[in-house]
């Protein structure tokens, strides 16, 4: 059963969230509390191993917390009856390593998430074209990932994350594998998309300069949020 | 891009391995087509041969082998009295080696019996009487034995003369050495012994009446078995053994094919762990992941099946021309057999994909984020 949230105004709300591994020997998250409003751009920052990526996985329903509660639009995510549907419709992931499928072209990669929603073949193709145009890659539709630069691959990944019009973008070190020029342009693209389209974005980074572009920064250390505020 | 495109890409990403798996499964299916096609062809050829002779029922010894054991020729006289029996013909049939040919049908027929009537002379003449030391050869038998009119032919210890070459309207007839019954009885030292009686029922006898006639014959002569032409071979132990071996070998080949496809699909799942996790992360359901793997393995089965059917058809054609068995069988490459083979291949593919599909659906999507 989906449990009701105490604060229905928040898009995401975590209460006493923990995540243990190896039967409790490793405590990745130790009681995390926060709430994120619709349209927020939040950066999660902290040293390696502090639990940033683990938290992002919980937000994206890729993993389940050991204890505590996590609400999305007032519904408990760990109790979500169909986590795949949540990932398909409500969340767009952008990974550090792009994670494009090598045997599919740019346009096909963007279409992959669309199989989970009701779109015809031509609608999928047209929408992929629109999204690649949005990220400035409408001239690279039929290129396979191996033929694209790092920056271009991440733009394809961004287009893919937008495929089903999610409210929430989750980006895990999205510029971590890019040179500074590409990192800058990808970050600007993400910020533009977040602002223009009013999406909520949670971005994990250990780069203070990137975190500084967010509207709010959650600083983590040893599995806990040690500060929560504006840059 | 359709879901089918995604499935096909999965197969094409490792063309060499997909090709080798296809080769594995197609060999299994080729074995089914070749072995079962040959045994069915043998059965069919025998039936056509009997039908060409105008036979409705075959009476033979109950302890059947491929060529049944002999029994006394007087049995015919008891059967001939039954109503609805229009004609009978005593036979002594052996599958034996003749000169350089390892397997040849030696068909000795009662002189004047109806089983001679379907033979159409191509060249030469028929034997003059039951005692003339002469044979006629079916046209394929003449080719295999490389005989022409006037040539001597060694049947066991006796040298006979080829006096005619005939067309029998069926492969089995064309592949036979045909001679009069008393002649072969004399050669084999078994006077009054026969191992089959061809029975022709009265015109307009229905299938039910034919079955009733068979029952009557068995009641009258309990030591024999009377069966219709289509059932004849299925009662022969030797043929049943051939059939069982054909299916046994085929099933073994199919089992190897199952292991091949399962191995490929498991390797695919292991190699594509990252890809599958990415698909789960972007919202694909576990059911869709399972369908993708199952469709891939079913497609492997389908392609392997089609390839196997082609290989098997070629193989069976080549085998049926082999000197050892040429003239004995007409390969059965009927649409039902070929369709059945492809269906078997697809089922093999699906069964082989079940475990890999289940494994793939158990993957944790968070692995995608951890993988570099």
Is pLDDT above 60 for B290?
A: yes
Is pLDDT above 60 for B252?
A: yes
- The token duo for B347 is 């089922």
Higher-pLDDT residue of A213 and A3 is A213
Instruction: Give the DSSP H or E segment for B33.
Output: none
Instruction: Please compute, for residue B69, the number of CA atoms within 13 A of its CA located in the half-sphere on the CB side.
Output: 7
pLDDT of B274 reads 85
What angle is formed at CA A193 by the lines to CA B368 and CA A97, rounded to 5 degrees? 25
* Whole-number average pLDDT of chain B: 85
Is pLDDT above 90 for A115?
A: yes
Residues of A in contact with B292 (CB under 8 A): none
pLDDT of A99 reads 92
Residues of B in contact with A163 (CB under 8 A): 282
For A151-198, what is each residue's pLDDT tens digit?
A: 999 999 999 999 999 999 999 999 988 898 889 999 999 999 898 888
Report CB contact under 8 Å: B365, A56.
no
Residue in A32, A30, A26 with CA at minimum distance from that of residue A13:
A32
Query: What is the spatial distance between Cα B245 and Cα B248, in angstroms, rounded to a whole number?
Result: 5
Average pLDDT over residues B150-166: 93
Q: What is the DSSP string of B249-313?
A: HHHHHHHHHHHHHHHHHHHHHHHTHHHHHHHHHTT--HHHHHHHHHHHHHHHHHHHHHHHHHHHH
For A131-162, what is each residue's pLDDT tens digit?
A: 999 999 999 999 999 999 999 999 999 999 99
Report CB contact under 8 Å: A62, B365.
yes
Residue appearing with tokens 């649409």: B335
- The token duo for B238 is 């030797």
Helix-helix angle B15-31:B286-320, to 10 degrees: 50
Q: How confident is the model at residue B370 (pLDDT cuts 50, 70, 90)?
A: low
Q: Which residue on chain B is closest to A87 by alpha carbon?
A: B283
pLDDT of A2 reads 40
Q: How confident is the model at residue B238 (pLDDT cuts 50, 70, 90)?
A: low
Residues whose CB is less than 8 angstroms from the CB of residue B139 and which lie 6 or more positions away in sequence, other chains included: B122, B165, B166, B167, B174
pLDDT of A1 reads 39
SS3 B157: coil
SS3 A214: coil
SS3 B133: coil
Report CB contact under 8 Å: A84, B285.
yes
Q: By the 8 A CB rule, do B363 and B280 touch?
A: yes
Is 0.80 surpassed by the pTM of this model? no
For A1-44, what is each residue's pLDDT tens digit?
A: 344 444 446 899 999 999 999 888 899 999 999 999 999 999 99
For B178-203, what is each residue's pLDDT tens digit?
A: 999 999 999 888 888 998 899 999 88
Chain B residues in contact with chain A using a Cβ-Cβ cutoff of 8 Å:
1-3, 5-6, 9-10, 12-13, 274-275, 278-286, 288, 364-366, 368-372
Residues whose CB is less than 8 angstroms from the CB of residue B357 and which lie 6 or more positions away in sequence, other chains included: B265, B289, B290, B291, B293, B294, B297
Residues of A in contact with B9 (CB under 8 A): 103-104
Q: How confident is the model at residue B233 (pLDDT cuts 50, 70, 90)?
A: low
Share of chain A above pLDDT 70, in %: 96
pLDDT of B325 reads 64
Residues of B in contact with A142 (CB under 8 A): none
Starting at the edge strand that comes first in sequence, how are the strands of the sheet with A26-37 ordered?
A26-37, A10-21, A67-72, A75-76
């Amino acid at each position: 059963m989906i449990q009701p949230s105490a604060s229905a105004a928040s898009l995401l709300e975590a209460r006493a969230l923990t995540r243990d591994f190896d039967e409790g020997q490793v405590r990745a998250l130790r009681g995390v509390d926060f709430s994120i409003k619709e349209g927020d751009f939040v950066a999660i920052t902290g040293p390696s191993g502090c639990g940033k990526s683990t938290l992002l996985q919980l937000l994206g329903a890729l993993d389940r917390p050991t204890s505590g509660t996590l609400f999305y639009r007032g519904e408990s995510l760990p109790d979500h009856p169909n986590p795949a549907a949540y990932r398909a419709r409500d969340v767009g992931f952008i990974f550090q390593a792009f994670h494009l499928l090598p045997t599919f072209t740019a346009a096909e990669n963007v279409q992959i998430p669309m199989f989970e929603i009701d779109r015809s073949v031509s609608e999928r193709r047209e929408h992929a074209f629109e999204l690649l145009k949005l990220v400035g890659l409408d001239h690279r539709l039929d290129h396979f990932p191996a033929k694209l630069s790092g920056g271009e691959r991440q733009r394809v990944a961004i287009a893919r994350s937008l495929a089903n019009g999610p409210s929430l973008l989750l980006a895990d070190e999205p510029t971590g594998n890019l040179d500074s020029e590409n990192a800058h342009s990808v970050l600007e693209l993400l910020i533009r998309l977040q602002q223009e389209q009013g999406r909520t974005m949670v971005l994990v980074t250990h780069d203070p300069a990137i975190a500084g572009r967010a509207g709010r920064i959650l600083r983590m250390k040893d599995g806990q949020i040690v500060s929560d505020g504006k840059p | 891009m359709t879901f089918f495109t995604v499935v096909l890409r999965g197969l094409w990403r490792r063309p060499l391995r997909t090709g080798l798996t296809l080769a594995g499964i197609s060999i299994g299916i080729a074995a089914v087509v070749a072995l079962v096609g040959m045994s069915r062809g043998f059965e069919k050829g025998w039936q056509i041969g009997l039908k060409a002779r105008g036979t409705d029922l075959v009476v033979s010894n109950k302890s059947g082998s491929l060529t049944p054991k002999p029994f006394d020729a007087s049995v015919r006289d008891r059967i001939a009295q039954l109503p609805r029996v229009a004609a009978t013909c005593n036979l002594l049939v052996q599958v034996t080696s003749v000169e350089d040919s390892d397997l040849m049908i030696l068909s000795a027929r009662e002189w004047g019996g109806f089983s001679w009537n379907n033979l159409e002379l191509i060249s030469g003449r028929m034997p003059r009487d039951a005692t003339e030391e002469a044979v006629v050869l079916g046209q394929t038998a003449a080719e295999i034995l490389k005989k022409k009119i006037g040539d001597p032919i060694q049947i066991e210890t006796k040298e006979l003369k080829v006096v005619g070459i005939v067309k029998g309207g069926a492969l089995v007839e064309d592949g036979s050495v045909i001679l009069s019954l008393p002649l072969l009885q004399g050669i084999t030292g078994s006077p009054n012994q026969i191992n089959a009686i061809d029975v022709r029922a009265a015109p307009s006898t229905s299938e039910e009446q034919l079955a009733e006639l068979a029952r009557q014959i068995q009641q009258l002569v309990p030591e024999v078995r009377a069966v219709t032409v289509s059932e004849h071979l299925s009662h022969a132990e030797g043929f049943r053994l051939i059939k069982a071996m054909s299916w046994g070998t085929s099933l073994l080949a199919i089992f190897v094919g199952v292991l091949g496809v399962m191995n490929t699909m498991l390797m695919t799942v292991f190699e594509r762990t990252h890809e599958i996790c990415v698909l789960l992360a972007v919202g694909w359901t576990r059911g869709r992941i399972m369908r993708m793997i199952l469709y891939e393995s079913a497609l492997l089965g389908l392609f392997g099946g089609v390839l196997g059917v082609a290989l098997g058809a070629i193989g069976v054609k080549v085998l049926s021309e082999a000197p050892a068995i040429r003239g004995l069988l007409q390969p059965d490459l009927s649409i039902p057999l070929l369709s059945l083979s492809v269906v078997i291949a697809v089922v093999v593919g699906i069964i082989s994909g079940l475990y890999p599909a289940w494994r793939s659906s158990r993957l944790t999507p968070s692995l995608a984020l951890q993988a570099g």
